C-alpha cells in the first residue's frame, strides 16, 4: 500500500444552503474541509494510506475535524490539538459568477496556522513513500512554510499543488517567490493550473508550462484546466482528458480530489492516462454536491461514471 504524508490545515467549512451573496443567506451547512484533508480522503478512497500532519483547535470544531477524518480512513495520529481556534471558512455559491464559488476565510491566528517544523516527525517522513503539501500551507504562516521545507528536505518523493489563494497572501509576488522556492527544492509531481502558472512563470499554455516546470526539476505535471478538463505530462508523454458535463452545485474541492486520486494512482504504479481518467471523473462527482469531499468516489464508483459518460 502506498503511504503518503500531507501537511496542511484542516478547516470547518460553512457552505451556504442558498445561492447568492452571503449577506442574504440565512442558513449554512457544516462540512470538514481543507485542501490537504480533501487530498488525503481522495487518496484513501483509491487505496493509499494517508497521514495528515496538522494542528486543530482544542475545541468542538477541532474534535469534529479529527473524528470525521478518522471516520474517512485518514491517519489522524499526527494531528495535534492547540489552544488556538480551529479555522473556519464560508462558501458563497453561484455569485457573482454562476457555477463558481467564492470563499471567505476566518483563519488568521488559527491552530492550523501554528503548524511548525516541530510538528514534522522525521521518522514518519522517512517512512512514507511521498510527502504532499500545497501553496495554501506556504501562505498561512512562516512556521507552516518552514514545516513544508523541512518535510520536503527529508522526503523520498514529493508532490505539490500550487493552490495559490490570493486572499491568503500579502501580494502575488510573495506567492510566486514561495512556490518557486519549493519547486527548486525538488518536486516530482506538480499539480497546478493556468492561473497559478501565470503567477509563478508568466505563462499559461500547457506545453510551455511543462517545459518551464521541467527545467525546475518537475517530472510529472498534472495541469488542471477547470471546465475543459486536465492534461498530464511526463517526459515525452502527454495526455488530455476532457471534463464531464455535470450539474454544478459547488466546485470547491474538485481540484483536491483530482490531485489526491491522481497522486495515489501514480505512486502505486498506474499508467498516467488511466490515473488522469479516474482523477477527472472523481473531480466531476465532487462538484455535484455541497461539501469538498463527500462525493469523492472509490474506484468502483469512478468506474461506473467512466462507463456511463
Q: Which are the catalytic amino acids?
A: 256
Q: How far apart are CA 168 and CA 45, in angstroms?
A: 29
Q: Count the Cβ atoms, other than its own, within 10 Å of residue 109.
A: 12
DSSP H helices in 202-271: 206-215, 254-267
Query: Of 45, 49, 103, 114, whose CA–CA distance to 76 is shortest?
Result: 49
Beta strands 11-16 and 3-7, pairing class: unpaired
Q: Where are the beta strands (DSSP E) in 98-236?
A: 101-106, 130-134, 158-161, 189-192, 220-224, 229-234
**What CA dihedral angle connects 189, 194, 197 and 201, to 10 degrees?**
130
Q: Is the distance from CB of 285 to CB of 296 less than 8 angstroms? A: yes
Short-list 248, 266, 237, 254, CA closest to 292:
254
Beta bridge partners of 238: 233
**Cα-Cα-Cα-Cα dihedral sign, residues 254, 141, 189, 210:** positive
Amino acid at each position: 500500500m502506498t503511504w503518503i504524508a500531507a501537511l496542511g490545515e484542516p478547516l470547518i467549512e460553512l457552505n451556504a444552503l442558498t445561492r447568492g451573496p452571503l449577506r442574504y443567506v440565512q442558513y449554512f451547512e457544516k462540512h470538514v474541509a481543507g485542501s490537504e484533508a480533501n487530498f488525503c480522503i481522495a487518496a484513501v478512497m483509491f487505496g493509499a494510506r494517508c497521514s495528515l500532519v496538522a494542528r486543530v483547535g482544542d475545541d468542538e470544531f477541532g474534535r469534529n475535524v479529527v473524528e470525521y477524518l478518522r471516520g474517512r480512513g485518514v491517519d489522524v495520529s499526527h494531528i495535534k490539538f492547540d489552544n488556538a481556534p480551529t479555522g473556519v471558512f464560508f462558501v458563497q455559491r453561484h455569485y457573482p459568477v454562476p457555477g463558481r464559488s467564492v470563499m471567505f476565510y476566518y483563519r488568521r491566528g488559527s491552530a492550523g496556522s501554528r503548524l511548525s517544523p516541530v510538528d514534522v516527525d522525521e521518522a514518519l517522513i522517512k517512512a512514507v513513500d511521498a510527502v504532499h503539501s500545497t501553496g495554501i500551507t506556504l501562505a498561512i504562516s512562516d512556521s507552516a512554510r518552514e514545516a513544508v521545507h523541512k518535510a520536503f528536505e527529508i522526503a523520498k518523493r514529493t508532490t505539490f499543488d500550487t493552490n495559490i489563494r490570493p486572499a491568503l497572501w500579502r501580494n502575488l509576488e510573495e506567492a510566486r517567490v514561495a512556490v518557486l522556492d519549493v519547486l527548486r527544492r525538488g518536486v516530482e509531481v506538480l499539480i497546478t493550473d493556468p492561473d497559478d502558472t501565470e503567477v509563478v512563470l508568466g505563462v499559461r499554455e500547457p506545453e510551455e508550462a511543462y517545459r518551464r516546470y521541467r527545467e525546475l526539476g518537475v517530472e510529472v505535471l498534472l495541469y488542471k484546466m477547470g471546465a475543459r478538463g486536465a492534461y498530464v505530462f511526463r517526459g515525452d508523454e502527454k495526455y488530455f482528458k476532457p471534463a464531464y458535463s455535470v450539474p454544478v452545485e459547488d466546485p470547491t474541492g474538485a481540484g483536491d480530489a483530482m490531485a489526491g486520486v491522481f497522486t495515489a494512482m501514480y505512486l502505486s504504479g498506474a499508467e498516467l492516462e488511466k490515473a488522469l481518467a479516474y482523477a477527472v471523473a472523481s473531480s466531476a462527482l465532487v462538484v455535484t454536491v455541497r461539501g469538498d469531499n463527500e462525493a469523492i468516489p472509490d474506484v468502483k464508483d469512478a468506474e461506473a461514471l467512466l462507463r456511463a459518460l
